[in-house]
Amino acid sequence: MSFATKSLFSEQLVFKGLKQGLTLFIPEDKPFTHWLGVLDEQLERAKSFFRGGSILVELGERKLSPRELSELKAVLTKYQMTIKAFNPLAKKLFSARMKMDEPAPSGVLLVKGTVRNGQRLEHNGDIVVKGDVNPGGELIATGDIIVLGVLRGIAHAGVRGNVQAEIIALTLAPVQLRIAHIYSRAPEGMEVGQGPEIAHIKGETIVVERL
Amino acid sequence: MAARVIVVTSGKGGVGKTTTVANLGTGLALRQKKVVMIDTDIGLRNLDLLMGMENRICFDLINVAENECRSFRQALIKDKRVENLFLLPASQIKNKDALTAEQMVRIVDELKEEFDYILIDSPAGIESGFENAVAPATEAIVVTNPEVPAVRDADRIIGLLQAKKIYEPLLVLNRLRSDMVKKRDMLDVDDINDILAIKLLGVVPEDEQIIIATNKGEPVVFNQQSKAGEAFRNIVRRLEGEAVPFMSFNTEPGVFGRFWKMLHGR
Ligand SMILES: Nc1ncnc2c1ncn2[C@@H]1O[C@H](COP(=O)(O)OP(=O)(O)OP(=O)(O)O)[C@@H](O)[C@H]1O
Ligand SMILES: [Mg+2]
């Protein structure tokens, strides 16, 4: 199956239904920005068809810069579309996360003071909080999360799929812990541990151990 | 002389903001300070009721904001019991969008030179009413109750105040019941300090005298017999920089372990 939205004169990009899923082909013969423009127009015309879809993108030998990647994502987001993975034609199906050339982690984010209800911090790298994280406060890191105080809010470490990521707190009393794709709710009535603890993935679950 | 401009706020409704403003305002005036209280709870005013001033309202905050009276002085209601105590009442009829933050800043600027304290009673919530009340303030008092939802909201509010550069808001813990705290049916002062981690200005016990005072239009600070009255008098002194020891409510803080359940309300 192969289709393209109907238009006699304008250039179009090809969407194909591969077994891995609907795939957008971006040829290598013209600059990337050119094809982005084409894609935008094409999606604009066929809005209702593509809306909400998650697609694969075949780039061939082309490598995307972080900037090009975010531009591509921006165009797709406009039509509520997301990228599931890149280059399905390559031998191995790279996960979108791996191939996306994510910007390199930008080191440690040091937070001084309490992270309060309604405050949310996202960081590409590790987060260290010199203070507490209160219920309703959220930390989201691609790397580790370290709380030099009481963690009572939500912490999500390794958010882009890093299963090695860890969550450490002087007192661990969170509503919920998340590492990579694994979520864990605190068991009902669980007593807050005394002293520093570390949470990490073992097998398919998050375990909490004394540090 | 430039007034200390203090907003009294909470996030959650009904925790005792208006009661706090009425009592601090009165208490400060009893100490010869010149005080104006501004009610910004447009459409739901009741600071005037607590002060027993309802029947003397001619102009209100919106009239002042829209320059509908000759001067703001015309709108200020003077207390009959204490010298130097004034109220700028909220409007009861206009809707809450009638006021802007810029207008609040301008009004407070005009009042600043003439008073020692400007106390601003904020409406509940975190929307425009809250923004208006906070805009002219340089200090804040956060009122909360010993209940998980009230403490959560207080925490949220503290974060929002800090975003507005009020970095060190003060805490008033209202409606504490020592009998319930003893049985661990209520959060105690330590539990709340642990979470909010801001300076405690005072603890006000649950007291039926407050309800009586509210209905009479006579703030409980006047009442020498009331525990809550004493608590508010102490708060006034601390606000003035005195080191006043905290009243004992016969609680035994910290002797029981703290449980997950308590902290998370499950
Ligand atoms: N310490 C106390 N003991 C007993 N009753 C109290 C106490 N503090 C406040 N109250 C009662 O609680 C009610 C709410 O108080 P108040 O109006 O001051 O709260 P508020 O935070 O201003 O409410 P709103 O969010 O509606 O403006 C009133 O009826 C008051 O009398
Ligand atoms: Mg009120």
In this predicted model, what pLDDT tens digit does every residue of A60-113 receive, in sequence order? Answer: 888 888 888 889 999 998 888 888 888 877 644 444 444 445 567 778 999 999
CA–chain centroid gap for B49, Å, is: 15
Contact A118 B159 (CB under 8 A): yes
Identity of residue B216 = K
The last residue of a domain, from among A80, A99, A118 = A99
Contacts of A136 in chain B (CB under 8 A): 152, 155-156
Do the domain assignments include residue A95? yes
Q: Is A117 on the interface with B (CB under 8 A)?
A: yes
Please write the tens of the pLDDT for every residue from A41-59.
888 877 766 777 788 888 8
pLDDT over threshold 70, residue B262 = no
Contacts of B258 in chain A (CB under 8 A): 192
Query: In angstroms, rounded to a whole number, what is the distance separating the alpha carbons of residues A192 and B261?
Result: 9
Please write the tens of the pLDDT for every residue from B123-137.
999 999 999 999 999
A191 & A112 share domain:
yes
The last residue of a domain, from among A99, A132, A166 = A99
Return the bridge partners of B78, or none: B86
Cβ atoms of B52 and B58 closer than 8 Å: no
Split at pLDDT 50, 70, 90, the class of B103 is: very high
Mean pLDDT of B33-54: 94
Q: Which domain holds residue B47?
A: 4-264
Split at pLDDT 50, 70, 90, the class of B153 is: very high
Q: Which candidate from A117, A118, A135 shows the least CB-CB separation from B264? A: A135
Query: In angstroms, rounded to a whole number, what is the distance separating the alpha carbons of residues B255 and A88?
Result: 62
Structure token digits, residue B253: 């803080």
CA–chain centroid gap for B42, Å, is: 16
CA angle A75, A77, A78 (to 5 degrees): 65
Contacts of A188 in chain B (CB under 8 A): 266
Please write the tens of the pLDDT for every residue from A145-199.
999 999 999 999 998 889 999 999 999 988 889 998 888 876 655 566 778 999 9
CATH number of the structural domain spanning residue A140: 2.160.20.70
Domains contained in chain B, number: 1
Split at pLDDT 50, 70, 90, the class of B239 is: very high
Split at pLDDT 50, 70, 90, the class of B66 is: confident
Sign of CA dihedral B59, B62, B68, B69: positive
Q: How would DSSP label each residue in A59-106?
A: -TT----HHHHHHHHHHHHHTT-EEEEE-TTSSS-EEHHHHT-PPPP-
Contact A150 B194 (CB under 8 A): yes
The more confident residue out of A86 and B79 is: B79
pLDDT over threshold 60, residue A33 = yes
State residue A113's pLDDT score: 92
A88 & A146 share domain:
no
Mean pLDDT of B101-118: 95
pLDDT over threshold 50, residue B266 = no
CATH number of the structural domain spanning residue B56: 3.40.50.300
Domains contained in chain A, number: 2
Mean pLDDT of B149-170: 95
Do the domain assignments include residue A7? no
Share of chain B above pLDDT 70, in %: 92
pTM confidence score: 0.74
Please write the tens of the pLDDT for every residue from B7-21.
999 999 999 999 999
Cβ atoms of A3 and A22 closer than 8 Å: no
Mean pLDDT of B46-61: 92
CA–chain centroid gap for A147, Å, is: 22
Query: What single DSSP character describes residue A51?
Result: T
Cβ atoms of B132 and B100 closer than 8 Å: yes
A18 & A56 share domain:
yes
Contact B156 A117 (CB under 8 A): yes
Cβ atoms of A121 and A115 closer than 8 Å: yes
State residue A94's pLDDT score: 43
Split at pLDDT 50, 70, 90, the class of B252 is: very low
pLDDT over threshold 90, residue B98 = no
State residue A5's pLDDT score: 36
Query: In angstroms, rounded to a whole number, what is the distance separating the alpha carbons of residues A155 and B122?
Result: 33
CATH number of the structural domain spanning residue A74: 3.30.750
Ligand 2 centre to CA of B136 (Å) is 18
Q: Which candidate from B159, B194, B260 shows the least CB-CB separation from A119? A: B159
Cβ atoms of B67 and B149 closer than 8 Å: no
Supply the residue whose CA is at minimum distance from atom 14 of ligand 1. B14
State residue A84's pLDDT score: 85
3-state class of B259 per DSSP?
A: coil
A93 & A154 share domain:
no
Annotate A166-193 with b (16+ C-beta within 10 A) or e (fewer). bbbbebbbbbebbbbeeebebeeeeebe
A36 & A91 share domain:
yes
Ligand 2 centre to CA of B177 (Å) is 21
The last residue of a domain, from among A99, A119, A142 = A99
Ligand 2 centre to CA of A136 (Å) is 25
A68 & A153 share domain:
no
Of the listed ranges B2-6, B91-95, B146-150, the least confidently predicted one is B91-95
Pocket of ligand 1 (CB under 6 A): B 10, 13-19, 41, 124, 174-175, 204, 206-207, 210-211, 214, 228
State residue A189's pLDDT score: 53
Cβ atoms of A100 and A82 closer than 8 Å: no
State residue A190's pLDDT score: 58
Ligand 2 centre to CA of A42 (Å) is 56
Q: Which domain holds residue A59?
A: 14-99
A87 & A164 share domain:
no
